Amino acid sequence: MKLLSFFNSSASYRVRIALGLKGITYQTEGVNIRIGEQNQLAYRRLNPVGLVPTLIGDRGDAHGQSLAIIDWLDRAYPDSALIPASGDARDRVLEIACVIACDIHPINNMRVLRYLTDELKISDEQKNNWYAHWVKQGMSAVEQLLKRNSGRFCVGDSPTLADCCLIPQMANALRMNCNLSGYPRCLAVWEACQGLPAFIAAAPENQIDKISA
């Protein structure tokens, strides 16, 4: 398997965590989104939306969209299930994952931030305010959702898709200097995840395609 990804892309980070939790070995090929490699024709043939990550399966099959990739992995490699098959746990995992992947992340994505600065000519300060505003809205919602949970992770006592989404979102927010001290439940989940090898190995600072600044 090969993961086409960028070291500090949070959507790529989600998939790296999932692969690690399932113990799947894979190769990494860096796609430098800062210089537009995600828009090159060869990449767009694999992933027409022009976003990372893309996972290439053992048969050469290309998979896009991190949540869909993790769902595919969960069905192809059922050990260490990340999306509960049924019941309340399934609903809660998907709800938290969707708040992060559908409500917070897309409006703070690089192409959106670049459009705001390059086309709409907002200042860096305004851009940072935009970013922090949507992080605050989304993280407050996740913090509320975690009140339903009594386990160590987002839902229960083992990591799920929800944790695969939350940790990269928090890492991004910290990189953008957002203050997360108002989200103690999220921070407790962060601590629990930092103790697991799959989360450590998936972190941006541990990627071979890492580039400075």
Ligand X SMILES: N[C@@H](CCC(=O)N[C@@H](CS)C(=O)NCC(=O)O)C(=O)O
State how beta strands 27-30 and 54-56 pair.
unpaired
Measured from the CB atom, the residue of 20 and 64 that comes closer to ligand X is 64
Find out whether the peptide bond into 204 is cis, omega within 30 degrees of 0: no
Residue numbers at the binding site for ligand X (CB under 6 A): 9-11, 33, 38, 51-52, 65-67, 101, 109-111
Q: Supply the minimum distance, in Å, between the C-beta of residue 177 and ligand X.
A: 18
Between 97 and 192, CB nearer to ligand X: 97
Decide if 204 contacts 2 (C-beta within 8 A): no
Are 90 and 84 in contact by the 8 Å Cβ rule? The answer is: yes
In the bound state, the residue with its beta carbon closest to ligand X is 111
* Residue whose CB is less far from ligand X, 15 or 192: 15
**Based on CB atoms, which residue is closest to ligand X, 111 or 148?**
111
Contact 63, 57 (CB under 8 A): yes
Question: Whole-angstrom distance between the N-terminal and C-terminal Cα of the chain?
Answer: 29
How far apart, in whole angstroms, are the C-alpha atoms of residue 132 and residue 173?
Answer: 8
- Do 53 and 41 meet the contact criterion of CB atoms below 8 Å apart? no
Report the nearest approach of ligand X to the CB of residue 117 (Å): 13
CB of 51 to ligand X, least distance (A): 4
Residue 184 and residue 204: Cα distance in Å, rounded?
A: 23
Query: What minimum distance in Å lies between the beta carbon of 52 and ligand X?
Result: 4
CB of 131 to ligand X, least distance (A): 13
- The nearer residue to ligand X, 159 or 204, going by C-beta atoms, is 204
